[in-house]
Amino acid sequence: MKELWINLPVKDLERSREFFSAVGFNVMEPGHAGNEMVGMVVGVHQVHVMLVLEERFKSYSLNALTDTNQSTEALFSISVDTKEELDETIGKVKQAGGFVFSEPAEQNGFYGAAFADMDGHRWNLLVM
């Protein structure tokens, strides 16, 4: 096994691309499936996250999608270097229209915060 690709269903690809770009994610240029999916590369280990329009996602997941207004499908945790970087990123999340459900604070021995993106996927930021 060489790489990890996480696929997330989204309702509006352009809106999601703009959100993650504004927050500071490395959003790749659209490829051959540019109107149905866009990729992001996260971190020094370069985890790939693909934002995929819901209909296309359902065509290969062969399962119903989670209603992120009712339940959490997963919590994606990302480490950052400093409290200042975390605070700045959370500020960008708010400006871009994301929902911060856990404000920056000391939690369980870590400084962290958490937010939901435009489609309700949950992200956790931690200073490690």
User: Looking at residue 3, what is its pLDDT?
Assistant: 82
Tell me the average pLDDT across 24-48: 83
Residue 98 phi, psi (nearest 5): -75, 170
Q: How many whole angstroms separate alpha carbon 49 and alpha carbon 38?
A: 9
Q: Model confidence over 53-99: pLDDT tens digits?
A: 999 999 989 989 999 999 999 999 999 999 999 999 999 999 999 99
Q: What pTM was estimated for this model as a whole?
A: 0.91
Domains of the chain: 5-65+72-127 (3.10.180.10)
User: Looking at residue 28, what is its pLDDT?
Assistant: 87
Q: Is the pLDDT of residue 46 over 90?
A: no
Tally DSSP H helices, then E strands, for the chain: 3, 8
33 pLDDT tier (thresholds 50, 70, 90)? low
Please say whether the beta carbons of 124 and 77 come within 8 A.
Answer: yes
Tell me the average pLDDT across 12-30: 92
Q: How many whole angstroms separate alpha carbon 112 and alpha carbon 115?
A: 11
User: Looking at residue 29, what is its pLDDT?
Assistant: 77
